[in-house]
Chain A
Amino acid sequence: MSENQNINYLNHPKGIMSWLLTLDHKRIGLMYLFSGIIFFLIGGLLALGMRLELAAPGNDFVSNDTYNSMYTLHGAIMIFLFIIPAIPGALGNILLPLMVGAKDVAFPRLNLASFYIYSFGALFAIYTIVNGGVDTGWTFYTPYSTQSTSNVVPMTLGIFIIGFSSILTGLNFIATVHKMRVPGLTWYKLPLFVWALYGTSLVQITATPVLAITMVLLILERFLGIGIFDPALGGDPVLYQHFFWFYSHPAVYIMILPAFGIISEIIPVHSRKKVWGYKFIAYSTLSIAFIGFLVWGHHMFTSGQSVFSQIVFSFITYFVGIPTGVKIFSWILTMYKGQVSFTTPMIYALSFLFLFTIGGLTGIFLGAVALDIHLHDTYFVVAHFHYVMQGGTIIAFLAGLHHWWPKSFGKMYNQKIASLCALGVFIGFNGTFFPQFLLGLRGMPRRYATYSDQFSELHTYSTFWSTILGLSIFIAILNLMWSLRKNNKLDPGSNPWGALTMEWTHTSSPPHPHNFESDPVFTNGPYDYDKVIVEPTLKK
């Protein structure tokens, strides 16, 4: 790197307007990152409040109405404001063009618009919070949602708007992957994170429009009583559930596929080993994305849908597990005959493998229709989806954050604290959510502000560990932020882990404003640890 070593996208150009109006994907990614983290903390704080209320059966920490509003906001914020838009929006934006050797995403202006649409939608959500909340659950089932006097309209309108942001991001990423790759970077040489984002984007553009129209119909149902979803007007509430889950089941793969991508990057790098079964991992991404569209009815096993569709949906549900299993086993085999370093990202990645496998396997329990009838809407489901979303996506997100932090900022965090937090998250997480499987099996329904004494022991236990979990996450984030201080002496160098993907090998850390100082030339495959050695620049 030459004398303009210190010209990078963070300091060039300068000024607040240069950030707010930037077309640079990296800066847009950072804006997503910070807004996402803020919403995560808000959602997490709400969760801790809920756990406090649930610590003992007769607790009167908050009223029923407040509790109902809290869990709805918790779910809606975590899903619609954080993991769906912010993770692809943040890590995807920062990394995708770098990984394919492009100067930017295909439509930079659309990218910025997408961020502002997201912010605009988020304003509605914030309005909902300060205006007294909304109490329907993040699923907005009719006819309760058409009758509730809480802020259903602002919240659903916010979700509708954020949907557009999600669509535009997806569209942009797909066009980027198809059209902006550097010559020589063929499909089978793409980093797996790019494959994952590609699959995610496909789901985003195909499923999200249906969410948009569902929210429109819901709002119209409230204002005009069109009667499509309202049984009192000749409509059918189960049809609403079809509409909602046609989006929201595929949406869980919008949440998890980027996480799979992150793990597919981190394990080879930190094991210094060629990834096992590259093509299987790439194709399993696409098949998960596709099969994910055929199983939404497994959320409706007690709704009264026809027996025929119960059986069909149950049958197809199991098949999502098979490509996912292929990924899990491939990641494990990747470590075989490698050089595994227990860095912070790797610790997160290993705990991802453990937690996500539990979460995924419990999904199979739920897919068995006879068993789901007992488990539906109990804490077993709550535990399942926290294992996959928090134990899967959030942990992978933290892994990715720690992995690409030196890339994005050129600064290193305190690795000891970071690794300790990773352990704390792992332990606190299991302590919080494992008891919830038992609660669910024993019949504890979800969305309950109070409960009967028989469940109190496990709830107390869960609440206790949730504070450890919250604290660990909080410190982990503080630790990252602290590394950004001016006089941070820890220097990661430009390729701290000795990785082989283009974002590490072809540009400085943090990257040049136009990504690469000169047009990049594709040299080596992303996982050629059997052919190329790059010494890690991070000193122990």
Chain B
Amino acid sequence: MIDRLNEFFFPKQVSTFASDIDNLFYFIFYSSVVLMAIVVIGMVVFSIKYRFKKGDKVRLTSSKDHDNILESLFFIIPLILVSITFVWGIRSYLKMIIVPDDAIEIKVTGQSWFWTFDYPEGGTSLNELVVPSNTPIKILLSSKDVLHSFFIPVMRTKMDALPNRYNIMWFEAQEEGVYDIFCTEYCGTAHSQMAAKVIVMKPKQYEEWVKELGSGDDDLPLDELGEKLYTKKACNTCHTLDGSDLVGPSYLETSRMWGQTRNFEDGSSAVIDENYIRKSILEPQSQIVAGYQGVMPTYQGLLSDRELDALIAFLKSLNDK
């Protein structure tokens, strides 16, 4: 019964403290249901019982307007409920903020509009947070530009990413799987697309995964690797493959215009070729396509040479498909 109810109200409970939070919710929920019942029953009974019936005469009514016992209950009952809620709430809260000493520290950086994850072993991933199960994970959170907020519903936790300051959160996942991460602080046009995934793996698998993180997919052909990187490096938050505009021009459009001239905001222009694409990725601010805003972040340092080539090859190939 409780499980079914929980499924109705909440996403899965994955972190260690999720059930605590949910139970706190149920406590307030049931208290509220009782209070609500008192209000509704009182309202309905009085308004119907003492209704002005057809044929009634307007008359003087009772002058009763206080009752000491009743009125002290107005204070005592809420006070008791509130005290329990407070103590319970703070105990759960302390669990959420005191990070276990043996936690793995992952650095999470928000940026309009994607997340970067730096692992203690040295690798970096974009929009895909991979963590081992049953291990406390400490998140050192910050932002490169405006406020973002890092929200993992299944873990029941969330924290704002501030520019130029760190914030801390932690969780310990108890179940492997792939879960949603949302940005919950408004951060501009593509705020609602600033989604990522948290992938919880068995600790063994995780170790292998971080080891491979640096090495890349050497065996894939360039354009297939490019297609993979397109989502992995979060290009898809701003560029589509089907010709429609998001924040940036669609790749399909760019691909169609291969060899033609691009006009820029400042009045200059350039021919779309490999060099231009490379420059667009590494120094996006240098040439801003007319009709768009210069919001694309630089990928300097986030892509290897091979990855750059792969993206260029993929982009070029789109028109032929």
Contact = CB atoms under 8 A, between A and B. Distances in A.
A64 B193 CA distance: 10
Return the 4 tightest CB-CB contacts between A and B, nearest first: A443-B153, A530-B63, A448-B192, A370-B92
A350 B71 contact: no
Given A277-B66, A332-B42, A445-B151, A231 B182 contact: no
Contacts, number: 261
Contact of B165 (A231, A443, A536): A231
A136 B78 CA distance: 37
B300 interface: no
A377 B43 CA distance: 33
Interface residues of B, number: 84
B56 A318 contact: no
A396 interface: no
A533 B60 contact: yes
A337 to B, nearest CB: 4
Interface string B61-95: 11111100011001100110010011011101101
A353 B38 CA distance: 12
Nearest to B150: A302
Given A232-B163, A335-B47, A272 B58 contact: yes
Nearest to B56: A339
A533 B149 contact: no
B203 interface: no
Interface stretch (A152-160, A214-222, A357-365, A467-475): A357-365
B189 A65 contact: yes
Contact of B79 (A322, A340, A450): A322
A314 interface: yes
Contact of B61 (A236, A369, A530): A530
Count chain B CB atoms within 10 A of each CB in A65, A336, A353, A536 and give the residue with the most.
Answer: A336
B164 interface: yes
Contact of B39 (A147, A332, A443): A332
Nearest to B82: A318
Nearest to A234: B164
A322 B82 contact: yes
30 contacts: A64-B193, A68-B191, A237-B163, A273-B61, A273-B62, A278-B65, A315-B86, A318-B85, A319-B82, A322-B74, A326-B71, A333-B46, A335-B46, A335-B47, A335-B50, A336-B50, A339-B52, A340-B47, A340-B52, A342-B47, A365-B29, A370-B89, A371-B25, A374-B158, A376-B158, A377-B149, A377-B185, A442-B10, A530-B60, A530-B62
A376 B147 contact: no
Interface in B189-224: 189-193, 195
Given A350-B43, A368-B28, 18 more contacts: A143-B147, A147-B145, A236-B165, A271-B47, A271-B50, A277-B65, A280-B71, A311-B90, A315-B86, A329-B39, A332-B43, A340-B48, A342-B47, A354-B39, A361-B28, A371-B24, A373-B21, A438-B8
B128 interface: no
A128 B6 CA distance: 44
A459 interface: no
Contact of A326 (B29, B32, B75): B75
A3 interface: no
Contacts of A272: 52, 58, 61
A282 to B, nearest CB: 13
Contact of A364 (B11, B85, B188, B190): B85
Contact of A340 (B50, B86, B149): B50
Interface in B135-157: 145-147, 149, 151, 153-154, 156-157
B52 A341 contact: yes
Contacts of B167: 304
B160 to A, nearest CB: 5
A451 B183 CA distance: 12
B60 A531 contact: yes
Contacts of A449: 191-192
A144 interface: yes
A272 B59 CA distance: 9
A518 interface: no
Which of B8, B96, B145, B151 has the largest count of A CB atoms less than 10 A from its CB? B151
Contacts of A353: 39, 43
Contacts of A280: 71, 74
A537 B296 CA distance: 69
B97 interface: yes
A446 B184 CA distance: 7
A371 B147 CA distance: 21
B24 A232 contact: no
Given A237-B162, A315-B86, A339 B61 contact: yes
Contact of B186 (A273, A339, A447, A530): A447
A144 B147 contact: yes
B58 A64 contact: no
Nearest to A540: B54
A370 B24 contact: yes
B180 A358 contact: no
A303 interface: yes
A145 to B, nearest CB: 9
Contacts of B8: 438
Nearest to A530: B63
B302 interface: no
B51 interface: yes
A303 B78 contact: no
